[in-house]
Structure 1
Amino acid sequence: MSALLEIEGLHSGYGRTEVLRGVDMRVDDGEIVVLLGSNGVGKTTLNNTICGINRAWQGSVRFDGQVLTGRHYRDVVSAGLIQVPEGRRIFPNLSVRENLELGAFRRGKRNRATNLARVLDMFPRLHERSGQAAGTMSGGEQQMLAIGRGLMAEPRLLILDEPSLGLSPLMVEEMFALIQRLRSEGLAILLVEQNVRQSLETGQRGYVLENGAIRHSGTCAELMASDALRRAYLGM
């Protein structure tokens, strides 16, 4: 596989506080890469720096061979690198359909109707509630909406930040089945999760972020078999 996203020596933070300390990682075309780490180690900061929301202090971000370091987040979206943020960040007072259509504001306008039909077919519950205010839906339905909105932008790589957070066990199963389906359709995914076991069973490769740096990496099978990781993250 060819590298779609390449991150080298990435440093970033807030004010004078450094959060990322030389992160190196890659996501290949068409694969699921899992990013693991406890709360507060820099996962969301990494996502936001990749996407141009936070400024990179040092290092580089390349996407499909194009340098994105220092580019505006609108340029990142235009390139096809789309983040579904933690906490969903939907527009609660807008309808489901309006939220989805906003996903194509920067990228995917030409195929908006086709993509909307595809997303509503993929998420029947969103189809049933297309005219409903998004804020009145359940947490699981709102997560579907957030992912559907991301898909409206025709992503080449989708960053999913804690997509299973706060969901019921049944909805978690549905979420991971959806992630597998998207990958089978050729979409590359960076999956940022605290559901360690299910994430490693879903992805191909993984990284473990600790104190702003990558401490472990390998195939998901290798990480699952690591005694240190099993003790730290799986309680085994």
Structure 2
Amino acid sequence: MLEVRSLRAGYGAIEVLRGVDLAVGAGEIVALLGSNGAGKSTLNNNVSGLYRPFGGTITFDGQAIAGAPSMRIVDAGLVQVPEGRRVFPNLSVRENLELGSYRRGRAARAKNLEHVLAVFPRLNERLAQLAGTLSGGEQQMLAIGRGLMSEPRLLILDEPSLGLSPLLVEEMFALIGRLNRDGLAILLVEQNVVQSLAIAHRAYVLENGRIALSGAAAELAEHPELRKSYLGH
């Protein structure tokens, strides 16, 4: 579905990504792993159309999308749930969710809302509550629910476990697995290496703007270099 080839990208004169290749197939969870500053969010934001790459190609379902307006990319079914949740704090939970179907999924808004509330029953209890008053875990649920309202065909999740308690991290990864089993392709961008490799089909490790390792998630989990760098043994 998504194919990134020789991607070079950054900000101003600073090149962050230096020739990145990455692909996500239909029905896959693909993990993009790396420490802070490795370039993970830069890749997300170029794929999502928030920035124009310096070079290389990005295709979604065979259509070139590098530099396309972000709204067109959402229209095609490629949706990002950004790092830090980015909910609208002064709008209600319901209003935040409905905004998710502003570009795509509007015709089935009521049905999609029902689906999201079935996935996240806690949000159903807080529909009238202002999003800014939710806990961190509930805001993450809301951010993902808002993404689901747009009927994504591929969902980019940027650091969904960031700032969550260990118990909520377990819940979050279980949820991601469930969404994938329902047929959703997911690009999971994470620092949590162990949990990500446990649910992903394939993975890439990004270091200093380049792909340092890639392969089947189960194989990478046993890779000595990855274990030394990220797991401490």
TM-score (structure 2 length as normaliser): 0.99
Q: What is the alpha-carbon distance in structure 2 between the residues aligned to residue 43 and residue 115 of structure 1?
A: 29
Inter-partner Cα distance in structure 2 for 1:162 and 1:209: 14
CA deviation map 1:177-220 (0-9, x unaligned): 10010000000000011110010001000000011111110000
Confirm whether residue 17 of structure 1 aligns to residue 21 of structure 2.
Answer: no
SS of 2:54's equivalent in the other structure is strand
1:232 aligns with 2:226: no
Q: Name stretches of at least 5 consecutive residues in structure 2 with no aligned partner.
A: none
SS in structure 2 of the partner of residue 56 of structure 1? coil
Q: Distance in 1 between matches of 2:122 and 2:3?
A: 36
What secondary structure sits across from 2:91 in the alignment? coil
1:60 aligns with 57
The one of 142, 145, 164 aligned to 1:145 = 142
In 2: Cα distance, 1:70 partner to 1:224 partner: 34
The alignment's TM-score, normalised by the length of structure 1, stands at 0.98
State the partner residue of 1:207: 204
How far 1:54 moved relative to its partner?
Answer: 1.0
2: CA distance between counterparts of 1:210 and 1:173? 26
Alignment of 1:1-236 (within 5 A): 4-236=1-233
Letter in 2 for 1:222: E
Task: Spell out, residue by residue over 1:95-150, the C-alpha distance to the aligned partner (whole angstroms, 9 max, x if none).
Answer: 00000000000000000010001101110100000000000010000000000000
Runs of 4+ in 1 over 4 A off after TM superposition: none
Distance 1:204 1:235 in 2: 23
| Aligned-partner SS, 1:41 | coil
Specify the code of the residue in structure 1 equivalent to 2:224: D
Give the residue type in structure 2 aligned to 1:32: I
Cα distance in 1, alignment partners of residues 51 and 209 from structure 2 = 14
- The RMSD of aligned alpha carbons is 0.5
Shift in Å at residue 226 of structure 1? 0.5
Q: Which amino acid aligns with 1:25?
A: L
How far does residue 229 in structure 1 lie from its aligned partner after superposition? Answer: 0.4
Deviation at 1:63, TM superposition (A): 0.4
Aligned length: 233
Measured after TM superposition, the shift of residue 69 of structure 1 is: 1.2
Paired residue type of 1:228 = E
Unpaired runs of 5+ residues, structure 1, are none
Alpha-carbon distance between aligned partners in 2 of 1:235 and 1:112, rounded to the nearest angstrom = 46
> What's the % identity of the aligned pairs?
67
SS in 2 for 1:11: strand
